[in-house]
Structure 1
């Protein structure tokens, strides 16, 4: 059995929104990491080549389902007090 943590992508989009969602996840005790956060702001034409989103968020695979629910609730306008555990 491997002791390595498996990460799963749960969001892809513009930096400003990825940063907001990362904070939402961390406020709900889900460690989250941004990929391409600097490339997406300094040279978005490189990170966005071929129409791909600038920045992605990854979380531990075991937290992915909870993270996806939180993101979906946030994007559909659920109040923060209903989201937090």
Structure 2
């Protein structure tokens, strides 16, 4: 098979810088390369990035890793913290 697969970047998360950093670390631990869009401006001046300043930082991954990344993020968001 000599089919060429077009690989694009897709957004899997958008939110504030702190949550985006945590989720990017989670993706890295599962060997999913990603990058933060608007990382600097989203943390310094979110109102300049998005109207209202809500969810200024996004995480993008390769389209090949999209399904695995979204399932990890959903699991992360639905996790119940352990009590000490």
TM-score (norm 2): 0.82
Counterpart in 1 of 2:65? 63
Structure 1 segments (4+ residues) deviating >2 Å: 1-5
Q: Give the number of the structure whose alpha-carbon radius of gyration is greater.
A: 2
Closer/same/farther in 2, CA of residues 56 and 50 from structure 1, 3 Å limit: same
In structure 2, the gaps of 5 or more residues are: none
Write out per-residue CA displacement over residues 33-64 of structure 1, whole angstroms, 9 at most, x where no aligned residue: 00000011111111231454110000000100
- Structure 2 counterpart of 1:75: 77
- The equivalences for 1:1-85 within 5 A come to 5-50=7-52, 52-77=54-79
Provide the aligned length of Structure 1 versus Structure 2. 79
The alpha-carbon distance between structure 1 residues 47 and 24, as it changes in their structure 2 partners (threshold 3 A), is same
How many angstroms apart in 2 are the aligned matches of 1:14 and 1:20?
10
